[in-house]
Amino acid sequence: MSESTNLNVAVVGAGPGGYAAAFLAADLGMSVTLIDPEVNPGGVCLYRGCIPSKALLHVAKLIEESEQAKNWGIEFAAPKIDLARLRSWKEGVIKKLTGGLGLLSKQRKVRYVQGRAAFENSTTLRVTKSDGSTESLSFDLIILATGSRPAIVPALKLETPRMMDSTGALNLEDIPGTLLVVGGGYIGLELGSVYAALGTSVTVVEMLPGLLPGADRDLVAPLHKRLEKLFDGILVNTTVASVKDEGSGIRATLKAQDGSTQEKVFDRVLVSVGRKPNSEIAGLEKTRVQVGDRGFIQVNKQLQTGDPAIFAIGDVVGEPMLAHKAMHEGRTAVEAIAGHKVAFEPNAIPAVVFTDPEVAWCGLTETQAQNENREVKVAKFPWAASGRATTLDRTEGLTKILFDPHTERVLGVGIVGVGAGEMIAEGVLAIEMAALARDVAMTIHPHPTLSETVMNAAEIFFGTATDIYRPKRG
């Protein structure tokens, strides 16, 4: 293995992909410059994505759980919400984490340049700094990690603060009386849950027949049921045909699949219909980088673009647009640059929806197996039979594992229920380690935990799980 670490590398964009790449490159001895408009590394994930949304979802869960406590003989007074304090707590979380990354950057002697990069040629960047000055910098190699931004629907474009994207919603300017969430994907449902818990009457509109397109329906069903109680309305097979600013609110025309329409006025509208890759980097046409139809930069398994001097990672190179995928791609790109024999070809990338209950899956989904006519054996363990779920009064969950019926290998795992996001990592490990049903069933899980349900699902593959009763056939 040839090591080439004596390189001068630039990383454009300091989100989870960019900072992970920059830090590893520095650890491997490369001279690294990290360029981003923010004062510290963090990108969308830390400033206006994963982290602030999860901080607010934690609060939402607390409020919801305190409501549920009535069932257990404990009644709390209605929550008093100090919005300024909640906002500053969330900002504090962001500051702590991004400040920490800034420090790690300094400790590694990464040169952090606050600014926006444009290409002069394949190896030279012109950086416009936050103070307006520009600097031309040349490198041996450049890694693009410019991320993504909220997609805009032209019909839903209105110049009013009442119309928000995810960034606006996370700013938490107020607690609106009514909120229309356009798009029933994970961002819409997570942020909708936050506002609903804070007291807003939330309506979600989804164009497709169900929430969370891409997730198996049996995993979505318990979430849908709970959200029906939390939200004012969930309208599937429905689009927002138009929006009109009426000064005191936004009048939205909602169009159902059968063509019928209804009009409603909302205090605020959150448009969460997906994200677009930031591939329109100034001067990119001066390089040999290729951009595909959907705007993603095209890369090979080493994350190298059509231009040998330029690599690209994270949201800007494709789905799934998730922070952990970006970070792993960052590692792979840097290791490839260092001369290691690597490729980005994971068997499973977990997806987690941090609603309550959480929905998480990895590897093959049942829907995918059906669409591809793949023979699989699906073992499901309902949480009604879980001691831990019962102690939490949250038995609506489900853990399922997809196995190859011949080799008994774990191909996919799906979980819905509290803590599903933490537990899915076991599924990822099982898939990556090529675990068999027997391996999972024989792995002793601690009792009483929700993690036991993974072991129990594997037991069901063999027809018996002691915690449930299945009459013998014949």
Give the shortest CB-353-to-ligand FAD separation in angstroms: 8
Q: What is the DSSP letter of 267?
A: S
Please return the burial class of 99, using the count of CB atoms within 10 Å of its CB with bins 0-12, 13-18 and 19+: middle
Residue 471 to residues 191, 327, 338, 464, Cα–Cα distance (Å): 44, 47, 58, 10
Residue count, binding to ligand FAD (CB under 6 A) = 35
Question: Residue 169 in contact with residue 195, Cβ under 8 Å?
Answer: yes
Of 34-42, 56-64, 94-102, 196-204, the window that binds ligand FAD (rule: CB under 6 A) is 34-42
Please tell me whether residue 219 adopts helix, strand or coil conformation: helix
43 is a contact residue toward ligand FAD (CB under 6 A):
yes
Work out whether 49 is an interface residue with ligand FAD (CB under 6 A).
yes
Catalytic residues, which ones? Answer: 447
Residue with tokens 């063999």: 462
Residue 187 or 410: the one with the smaller Cβ distance to ligand FAD is: 187
Q: Which 3 state secondary structure label does DSSP give 15?
A: coil
Is residue 270 at the binding interface for ligand FAD, with CB under 6 A as the rule?
no
Closer residue to ligand FAD, CB minimum distance, 36 or 366 = 36
Q: Decide if residue 323 touches ligand FAD (CB under 6 A).
A: yes
Q: At closest approach, how far in Å is the CB of 317 from ligand FAD? A: 8
Least separation in angstroms between residue 60's CB and ligand FAD is 14
Binding residues for ligand FAD restricted to 281-320, rule: CB under 6 A: 281, 314-315
Of 30, 117, 181, 254, which one interacts with ligand FAD (CB under 6 A)? Answer: 117
Q: Report d(CA 166, CA 321) in Å as an integer.
A: 15
Is residue 326 close enough to count as binding ligand FAD by CB under 6 A?
A: yes
> Do 116 and 127 meet the contact criterion of CB atoms below 8 Å apart?
yes
Measured from the CB of residue 142, what is the shortest distance to ligand FAD in angstroms? 11
Quick one: which of 9, 10, 11, 18 contacts ligand FAD (CB under 6 A)? Answer: 18
Residue 20 or 392 having the CB closest to ligand FAD = 20
Tokens standing for residue 99: 């400040």
Site for ligand FAD contains 278 (CB under 6 A): yes
Q: Of residues 11, 24, 32, 35, which one binds ligand FAD by CB under 6 A?
A: 35
In the range 135-164, which residues lie near ligand FAD by CB under 6 A?
Answer: 145-148
Among 11, 36, 90, 455, interactor with ligand FAD by CB under 6 A: 36
Closest CA to 307 of 333, 289, 281: 289
Using rule CB under 6 A, residue 12 touches ligand FAD? yes
Residue 19: count other Cβ atoms within 10 Å of its Cβ.
31
Report the first-to-last Cα separation within the chain, whole angstroms: 60
What is the dihedral angle through the alpha carbons of 85, 233, 65, 92, rounded to the nearest 10 degrees?
-20
Instruction: Kindly tell me which residue out of 22, 26, 50, 55 binds ligand FAD, with binding defined by CB under 6 A.
Output: 50
Binding to ligand FAD by CB under 6 A, coded x per residue (else -) over 391-430, reads ----------------------------------------
Select the span of 46-54, 192-200, 365-373, 408-416 touching ligand FAD (CB under 6 A): 46-54
Tell me which residue has tokens 């009009």.
263
**Shortest Cβ distance from residue 468 to ligand FAD (Å)?**
32
Task: Count other Cβ atoms within 10 Å, centred on residue 319.
Answer: 13
| Shortest reach from residue 336's CB to ligand FAD, in Å | 17
Could you please report the per-residue DSSP string of 312-367? Answer: E-GGGG-SS--HHHHHHHHHHHHHHHTT-------S---EEE-SSSEEEEEE--HH
Q: How far is CA 418 from CA 43, 218, 359, 394, 443, in A?
A: 28, 15, 8, 7, 22
Binding residues for ligand FAD, rule: CB under 6 A, are 12-18, 35-38, 43-45, 49-50, 53, 116-117, 145-148, 166, 187, 278, 281, 314-315, 321-324, 326, 354
